[in-house]
């Protein structure tokens, strides 16, 4: 295992010290609970947004804390759900009196722990908490760690858009409605060329032949739809686009994200994005906004995922609103 | 070789189509000459900034084209210098009447071709061209492809700062002086845990044992100072910081970049950045601004590099000035 770490057991805590050193202008770090919190939280009268999950997917979620996006992110151990206590402390820390939304990716552990945290926060701190579960991955229904579809790339877009809604002062009911709307209108699919290695495991999560890739991979290396022989990028782009378009009617404008899994060069992500846009154009789908880069990763896995979100004027306006986080920044 | 490409021979052209599709709000692409050009170039009365080099280091240079940074980037084949004709066309395209600066990383091919392009531009288009050669890598003097020190991470910081200077209307002589100042005040050093694979070669550039890393690696996989046994991140951070601090007196404020080589997770880059800041603090060096992420890469190489730049008030002010490029964006 070749990694820039001190010890497999201290990876997350050690990385949080680096995040604090790099971004103390925008966030503070609770080292006891492994939380990244917006520097000026709680923001009075604003709905607080809390997300989190296993580490190893950076910049998600900690890199999306800041003005116009999340108020706090709970960092679990690598590929392991944070515990309810972390989530509860985060919820209390960002409650500005308007309630808190938990943004939860659909993995059994995350869903269960966020539910428990919401109950604890309601009982102990009298905070009104609502949740939205993101389940955008069209690859498979039910999976290792998941009942139903997995939550993947759409989480990034949802955190941006809902973050903008909270920033402009929408109340908790409106924020819940907005989050559900985004989740209903977005779909993702990914593929992997190589496995990643969880530090505590010390060896690759799975094996793939030298001429194979896995279509529909999960962000923790969960099995996808099928293993296939390597193909030209234009064909692989087709294999990502088709199941997404088959799953939901995508006429009109979309926000598209060509996301890297962590170990794929940006050169290849741009190349794939070029292939995807050619296919979308033929299908009458217009990309109104886009992201190309590493936004929700799986450590050093090579591969990519595509996310499409149907975007009306409301969503585009919220997308364009200022955001100031380590991972996404514009307008400020 | 596992890559998201169509054909090893068309990688750069195919990726440029993706860059155009993703960023046509900010840049235009000259497909004949493989150029990425600021959408509103030439900007009348502004010094034009042209850089370029082999592809495979994205987001550098194409991702740094836009307001407040470069006016054009010339994309060579992977790890291969662009040719003089590309550079000449780029120079003519961005000349707004105030002359053009070529920002050249110190590799023999790049230096020679940019020199030839400058002569051609002066003769054929009557453009005044000046050059600055970046040579910040303390690893080795003379190397595969280089006489003198290699140009690496400092190029990113220089393009940002000089870009801000050009944007505020400084003339070509002042811009040359500023570029030389930045180059004189910055140093870098990198390390690799794995090799990368150039598409046209189809196999890894070099081999490294399972328990080894290479200190002082070049961005094309050129040999560094020595091969060493893997060590804790705290020790590896020390091995990056010490030679840099030994090479130049770094009292006071610095801009620091913890750069990923392309295949290293952001989690590890933050961890390394945390270790680096601990060492710098003990040495009395204060990080006033920082970047942590993939800015000058070597395809999918695992590893990182550290760049430190002594920063006075002038450089910090230029650093903070608005920039709107695909790879670096703030203030707009």
Same domain, B233 and B135: no
Let me know whether A157 and A71 are in one domain. yes
Mean per-residue pLDDT for A175-193?
98
**Sheet with A226-229, side-by-side order of all strands:** A226-229, A212-215, A186-192, A303-310, A252-260, A285-293
Catalytic positions of A are 57, 220
At B146 the pLDDT is 87
* 3-state SS class at B200: coil
Residue A59 near residue A326, CB atoms below 8 Å: yes
- The CB-based long-range contact list for A71-74 (8 Å cut-off, 24+ gap) reads A71/A37, A71/A38, A71/A41, A71/A42, A71/A43, A71/A46, A71/A100, A72/A35, A72/A36, A72/A37, A72/A38, A72/A41, A72/A48, A73/A35, A73/A36, A74/A33, A74/A34, A74/A35, A74/A50
Q: Is the ipTM of this complex over 0.95?
A: yes
Are residues A28 and A170 part of one domain?
yes
Alpha carbon of B268: minimum distance to chain A alpha carbons (Å): 6
Residue A144 has pLDDT above 90, yes or no: no
Residue A332 lies inside a defined structural domain of this protein: no
Bridge partners, A24 (sequence order): none
- CB contacts under 8 A, B 147-186 vs A, are none
Nearest to A319 by CA among A297, A292, A288: A288
Quick check: is B23 catalytic?
no
- The answer to whether position B328 is within a domain reads no
- Residue A273 lies inside a defined structural domain of this protein: yes
- A149, A258: one domain: no
The number of beta carbons lying within 10 Å of the beta carbon of residue B79 is: 23
d(CA B325, CA B162) in angstroms, rounded, equals 14
Looking at beta carbons, which pairs linking B22-25 to residues 24 or more positions away fall under 8 Å?
B22/A258, B22/A270, B22/A273, B22/A290, B22/A292, B22/B326, B23/B326
The mean predicted confidence, pLDDT, of chain A is 97
**Above 90 in pLDDT, residue A202?**
yes
At A32-46, the pLDDT tens digits run 999 999 999 999 999
Helix axes of B233-247 and B266-282: crossing angle, nearest 10 degrees: 50
Residue where one domain finishes, among candidates A169, A185, A201: A185
- At A152, which CATH number? 3.40.50.10440
Backbone angles phi, psi at A61, to 5 degrees: -95, -25
| Secondary structure of residue B208 in the 3-state scheme | coil
Averaged pLDDT for residues B178-197: 98
Q: Are A228 and A253 within one domain?
A: yes
| Residue B10 sits at the chain A interface (C-beta within 8 Å) | no
Task: Please identify, among B128, B160, B185, the residue that sits at the C-terminal boundary of a domain.
Answer: B185
Confidence category of residue B196, pLDDT binned at 50, 70, 90:
very high
What's the pLDDT score for residue B222? 93
Q: What is the CATH number of the domain that holds B200?
A: 3.30.1180.20
> Could you list the residue range(s) of the whole structural domain that residue B131 is in?
9-185
- Please check whether residue B171 lies inside any domain of the structure: yes
Query: Stretch A130-148: mean pLDDT, rounded?
Result: 92
Residues in chain B within 8 Å Cβ distance of A230: 2
The pLDDT of B284-307, averaged and rounded, is 98
**What is the percentage of chain A residues whose pLDDT exceeds 90?**
95
Chain A residues with CB under 8 Å of B59 CB are 266
Nearest CA in chain A to B258: A22
User: Please, what is the Cα angle at B189 between B183 and B192, to 5 degrees?
Assistant: 140
Please give the average per-residue pLDDT across B35-44, as a whole number.
98
- B174 band by pLDDT with thresholds 50, 70 and 90: very high
Mean of pLDDT values over A151-180: 98
SS3 B77: strand
The active-site residue out of B34, B57, B61, B102 is: B57
The CA dihedral of A153, A156, A157, A160, to the nearest 10 degrees, is: 180
- Residues B204, A55, A247: CA angle, nearest 5 degrees: 85
Please report, for residues A206, A227, B94, B305, the alpha-carbon distance to residue B293 in angstroms, rounded to integers and kept in the order given: 27, 31, 29, 10
Residues A208 and A195 in one domain: yes
Active-site residue flag, B61: no
Q: Which of B133, B162, B185 is the last residue of a domain?
A: B185
Angle B154-167/B313-320 helices, nearest 10 degrees?
80
Quick one: A148 and A163 in the same domain? Answer: yes
- Average pLDDT of the residues of chain B: 97
Among residues A105, A106, A100, A144, the alpha carbon closest in space to that of A122 is found at A100
Q: Domain for residue B4, yes or no?
A: no
Question: Chain A contact for B271, CB < 8 A?
Answer: yes
Half-sphere exposure in the Cβ direction for A302 (13 Å, CA): 23
A191 and A273 belong to one structural domain? yes
Which chain B positions have a beta carbon within 8 Å of A21's beta carbon? Answer: 273-274, 277, 287, 290
Inside any domain, residue A103: yes
pLDDT in tens, B91-128: 999 999 999 999 999 999 999 999 999 999 999 888 99
Spatial CB neighbours of B148, under 8 Å, sequence gap ≥ 6? B106, B135, B141, B142
Question: Does any CB of chain B come closer than 8 Å to the CB of residue A292?
Answer: yes
Give me the helix-helix angle, A266-282 and A233-247, nearest 10°. Answer: 50
Mark whether B224 and B314 lie in a shared domain.
Answer: yes
Assess whether B60 and B160 both reside in one domain: yes
CA dist B316 and B329 (Å) reads 16
Q: What is the mean pLDDT of residues B57-67?
A: 98
Domain assignment of residue B166, yes or no: yes
* Same domain, yes or no: A71 and A106: yes
Give residue B142's pLDDT band: very low, low, confident or very high (50, 70, 90): confident
A59 touching B (Cβ < 8 Å): yes
Q: What are the residue ranges of helices labelled H in chain B?
A: 11-23, 84-94, 108-125, 154-167, 172-185, 233-247, 266-282, 313-320
Q: Which of B55, B193, B277 has the CB atom closest to A267's CB atom?
A: B55
Number of independent structural domains in chain B: 2
In a shared domain, residues A197 and A179: no
pLDDT, tens digit, 9 for 90 and up, residues A226-239: 999 999 999 999 99
Yes or no, beta carbons of B22 and A300 under 8 Å apart: no
Dihedral class, residue B237 (left if φ above 0, else alpha if ψ from -120 to 50, else beta): alpha
pTM: 0.98
Distance in angstroms (rounded) separating the CA atoms of residues A227 and A204:
17
Which residues of chain B from 109 to 128 reach within 8 Å of chain A, CB to CB?
none
Q: What percent of chain A has a predicted confidence (pLDDT) above 70?
A: 100
The shortest CB-CB distance from B271 to any of A15, A274, A304 is to A15
B209, burial (CB in 10 Å: exposed 0-12, middle 13-18, buried 19+): exposed
Asked whether residue B3 is assigned to any structural domain, the reply reads: no
Residue to substitute from A217, A265, A276, A303, interface B, most B β-carbons within 10 A: A265
Closest-CA residue of chain B to A237? B4
Cross-strand bridge partners of residue A129: A100
Q: What is the 3-state secondary structure (H, E, C) of chain A?
A: CCCCCCCHHHHHHHHHHHHHHHHCCCEEEECCCCEEEECCCCCCCCCEEEEEEEECCCCCCHHHECECCECEEEEEEECCCCCHHHHHHHHHHHCCCCCEEEEEECCHHHHHHHHHHHHHHHHHHCCCEEEEEECCECCCCCECCECCCCCCCHHHHHHHHHHHHHHCCCCHHHHHHHHHHHHHHEEEEEEECCCCECCCCCCECCCCCCCEEEECCCCCCCCCCEEEECCCHHHHHHHHHHHHHHHCCCCEEEEEEEEECECCCHHHHHHHHHHHHHHHHHCCEEEEEEEEECCCCCCCECEEEEEEEECCHHHHHHHHCCEECCCCEECC
pLDDT band at B271 (very low <50, low <70, confident <90, very high): very high
Cβ contact, residue pair A3, B193, below 8 Å: yes
What is the structure's pLDDT at A295?
98
């Amino acid at each position: 295992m070749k990694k820039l770490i001190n010890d497999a057991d201290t990876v997350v805590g050690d990385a949080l010290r680096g995040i604090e050193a790099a971004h103390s202008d925008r966030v503070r770090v609770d080292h006891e609970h492994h939380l990244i919190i917006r520097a000026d939280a709680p923001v009075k009268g604003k709905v607080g947004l809390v997300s989190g999950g296993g580490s190893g997917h950076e910049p998600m979620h900690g890199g999306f804390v800041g003005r116009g996006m999340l108020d706090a992110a709970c960092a679990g151990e690598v590929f392991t759900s944070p515990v309810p206590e972390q989530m509860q402390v985060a919820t209390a820390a960002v409650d500005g009196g308007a309630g808190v939304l938990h943004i939860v990716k659909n993995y059994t552990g995350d869903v269960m722990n966020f539910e428990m945290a919401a109950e604890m926060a309601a009982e102990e701190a009298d905070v009104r908490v609502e949740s939205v579960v993101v389940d955008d991955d069209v690859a498979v229904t039910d999976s290792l760690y998941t009942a139903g579809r997995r939550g993947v790339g759409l989480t990034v877009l949802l955190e941006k858009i809902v973050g903008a809604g909270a920033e402009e002062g929408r109340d908790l009911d409106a924020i819940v409605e907005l989050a559900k709307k985004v989740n209903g209108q977005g779909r993702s699919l990914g593929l992997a060329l190589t496995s990643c290695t969880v530090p505590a495991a010390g060896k690759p999560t799975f094996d793939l032949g030298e001429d194979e890739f896995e279509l529909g991979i999960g962000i923790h290396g969960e099995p996808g739809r099928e293993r296939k022989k390597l193909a030209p990028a234009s064909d692989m782009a087709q294999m990502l686009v088709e199941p997404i378009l088959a799953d939901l009617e995508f006429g009109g404008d979309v926000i598209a994200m060509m996301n890297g899994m962590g170990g794929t060069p940006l050169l290849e992500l741009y190349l794939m994005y070029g292939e995807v846009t050619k296919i979308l154009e033929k299908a009458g789908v217009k990309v109104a906004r886009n992201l190309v880069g590493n936004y929700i990763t799986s450590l050093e896995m090579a591969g990519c995922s595509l996310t499409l979100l149907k975007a009306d004027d409301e969503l585009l306006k919220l997308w364009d609103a200022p955001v100031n986080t380590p991972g996404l920044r514009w307008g400020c």
